[in-house]
Chains A and B, each alone.
Chain A
Amino acid sequence: MRWMITAILPLFLMTGIVFSQPDGQEISAAFFEKDYLFDVVRHLYRWYLDEGDIEKIVGKKDIAFWLRELKPKLDSDDKSRFGEIVVPDLNVKVTVKKADYTVEELGLTVRCDTFKIVNVARGHLPADASGYTTVTASYKAMLDYAHRMRMQTRFPEEELLMRMRLSTRRQILKYIEGNKAATMADELKEPQQTVHLSPLSDVANEVWAFWENGRALIRFSSDADLENSAMWKHDKLAVDLFNIDEQTVVSLDEVAGSNAYLTRDQVGRALFNCIVLGKRLTLQTLADNDGKKKTETKSKLVILHQAVIMFKLDTGFYPSEEEGLIALVEKPSGLDGWAPGGYLEQKTIPRDAWNNEFLFIRNPESGKPFAIASYGADGVAGGEGFNADIYSSE
């Protein structure tokens, strides 16, 4: 047996899989700071608390926070920290995480500057504070802060907003595409779709959007900071879509055992944050009624156009005319930041609905930095009706 240990032990030691130990580093002091805890309460105030929760603590002098570090077994290369915040007076337990690891496959560093909320649970609290560090704060100061900040909002800067727009539009296109077989509501055929984006949170990597025409909620959430632009290269891993009409119930007891539903309370809070506190965006989509092939071609142009924008956001450059659209699926040499796997679902550039190649034009007459064009049904420049040229920048 000893020889086997002799053989295998060094391997385990090399990989650190079995014998890795916690590094003993103390949890960040910021975790215990009242400013941070107040921001957590502010997030709860915005997304979870109701009148009934506040009524229970009205008149209290102090409010206690029970804090402790959690130590789940992590992968050997993961330096993330986890914590737990119990607010007994609000009957809430919050799990937080300060992510610190690298996803090699994605070329993505997931590192958060602060602890971010990853879970909020009602009830199931510990019986007492043993094993926790207690921080006490003035109830009035806390509530004043939550009240004062209740309408204060922060929205993404231009680049992040662009990425969110693109991602949201892609979700909408995908949804419309998936619902083509069914009778599409008139609202979905509108060329402009309206979306309301909730404010950013300082303590949670989560943003919701309400898609008005589609009556759906779209949730962006990630382990990485949403403001980390690299995360948006992989937004397929960060998006959920809930159809409000079909997936809302008053009580989950109605659909016991199912994991497909949101409660009306959750939906109501999301709508408040998106519509009342949020930012209204208008997105151009594919729909018009000029004929199936024209619509299909426009849809492809939208996808290609946003792929070129993603290419620019990632690499800092637009493809040259020489490189053309193929640069979306084949990495041009000497270019940094190009997303692994490229910018399209498929490995080839699609053709328009009349089976002609799209044209990629830099600095077109429109003054835009680029345009992608189809020559329409006749496949030659100019023309009217279905023969007219179609531009992605239109």
Chain B
Amino acid sequence: MDRMKTCSGRFNRPRLAMALFILLAAYPAFCPVVGAAVALSPAHSEAGFIARLLLNEAPFPGERGWVSEDDSKAAMLAILWVCHSRIHHIPPGYLQEHIATVRTQDIIDVITAGGEHGQVDGFYRDSEGRLRSVPRVQERLDYLLKIANQGRPGKFAHLVSYAQALADAYVAGAMSGADRYAGLTVIGRVPVTGRAYSWMTDMDYYSPGGNFVRITDDLDGSLGGNRFFTLRRLEK
């Protein structure tokens, strides 16, 4: 308490507030200099590969499925949680192979399971084990990066930076946000495990089958043009 009093005595609050306001307000003017270069880690690195996956799965302004910057960011985070949960949150009664078609502790294996048209379309390892994405994916990502690096940083730059930051944090052992689906217990009348274990693009006329349960709109099951799915809770 004394320390606080000392501090407040040293600084003139209104002046400090004004200075902080001016500083924050002026920040965008420096953005072209500070933030112009948006880059991804190399595609063969773990963080680079994850970031590319997240960018590939989230819509950008003008694309089908676009709602807002927050919505696309939420989709990226939810997708990263799906990959993570396929390793670290296998629900009782399930085997990892049932959910991820692979047995692994490595997120890259989860992403590349099944090859070029496997669990995540377009992301795979080649015959020599190198991380690859199909040319169509690469072309879009190159284009997004090119746009993100033109002029003042806008939504493109924000989304690219966000994906890389998410991936970097993940590789460093942290998740930059909570799993919004972790607490799900029932959808409709179906008991579910909580967490999401799959996502599909917005043509959700069909379900992904098996024990996957569609997370409904009222539970934010649709993010960034993707539909998320949890799992049916199995009887003990």
Residues of A within 8 A of B (CB): 2-4, 6-8, 10-11, 14, 48, 72-75, 78, 101, 103-106, 108, 110, 118-122, 124, 171, 174-175, 177-178, 205-206, 221-224, 231, 234, 236-241, 243, 246-247, 251-261, 263, 266, 340-341, 345
CB-CB under 8 A for A258 and B121, given A11-B24, A120-B205: yes
4 closest pairs, A vs B, by CB?
A253-B209, A260-B121, A256-B210, A3-B13
Tell me if B20 is interfacial: C-beta within 8 Å of chain A: yes
Q: When the two chains form the complex, which single residue of B14, B69, B120, B205 contacts A6, counting CB atoms closer than 8 Å? A: B14
Residues of A within 8 A of B193 (CB): none
Q: When the two chains form the complex, which single residue of B14, B61, B64, B222 contacts A205, counting CB atoms closer than 8 Å? A: B64
B68 touches A118 (CB 8 A): no
B203 touches A345 (CB 8 A): no
Tell me if B183 is interfacial: C-beta within 8 Å of chain A: no
A247 touches B204 (CB 8 A): no
Residues of B within 8 A of A260 (CB): 114, 117-122
B146 touches A72 (CB 8 A): no
B136 touches A174 (CB 8 A): yes
Residues of B within 8 A of A237 (CB): 60, 62-63, 140, 143-144
Tell me if B106 is interfacial: C-beta within 8 Å of chain A: no
Known interface pairs A223-B66, A260-B119; 17 further A-B residue pairs with C-beta atoms within 8 A, sorted by A's residue number: A4-B17, A74-B67, A105-B154, A120-B203, A178-B136, A223-B62, A223-B63, A231-B62, A240-B136, A257-B198, A258-B117, A260-B117, A260-B121, A266-B203, A340-B147, A340-B150, A341-B143
Tell me if B135 is interfacial: C-beta within 8 Å of chain A: yes
A6 touches B17 (CB 8 A): yes
Residues of B within 8 A of A241 (CB): 136
CA distance A236 to B71 in the complex (A): 21
How far does the Cβ of B195 sit from chain A's closest Cβ, in whole Å? 13
CA distance A253 to B209 in the complex (A): 4
Q: When the two chains form the complex, which single residue of B69, B209, B214 contacts A256, counting CB atoms closer than 8 Å? A: B209
CA distance A14 to B136 in the complex (A): 39
A259 touches B21 (CB 8 A): no
CB-CB under 8 A for A256 and B212, given A3-B16, A7-B18, A8-B24: yes
Most buried by B among A104, A118, A241, A258: A258
Q: When the two chains form the complex, which single residue of B120, B139, B206 contacts A122, counting CB atoms closer than 8 Å? A: B206
How far does the Cβ of B35 sit from chain A's closest Cβ, in whole Å? 13
Q: B152-163 CB contact bits vs A (8 Å, 1 = yes)?
A: 001110000000
CA distance A225 to B64 in the complex (A): 10
A236 touches B210 (CB 8 A): no
Residues of A within 8 A of B142 (CB): 345
Residues of A within 8 A of B206 (CB): 122, 252, 263, 266
A108 touches B69 (CB 8 A): no
Residues of B within 8 A of A223 (CB): 61-66
A252 touches B68 (CB 8 A): no
Q: When the two chains form the complex, which single residue of B21, B120, B201, B204 contacts A121, counting CB atoms closer than 8 Å? A: B204
Tell me if B200 is interfacial: C-beta within 8 Å of chain A: yes
B147 touches A257 (CB 8 A): no
**B:155-212 near A, CB below 8 Å:** 155-156, 197-210, 212
CA distance A21 to B17 in the complex (A): 26
Residues of B within 8 A of A239 (CB): 136
Most buried by B among A223, A252, A254: A223
Residues of B within 8 A of A340 (CB): 147, 150
Q: When the two chains form the complex, which single residue of B17, B134, B207 contacts A3, counting CB atoms closer than 8 Å? A: B17
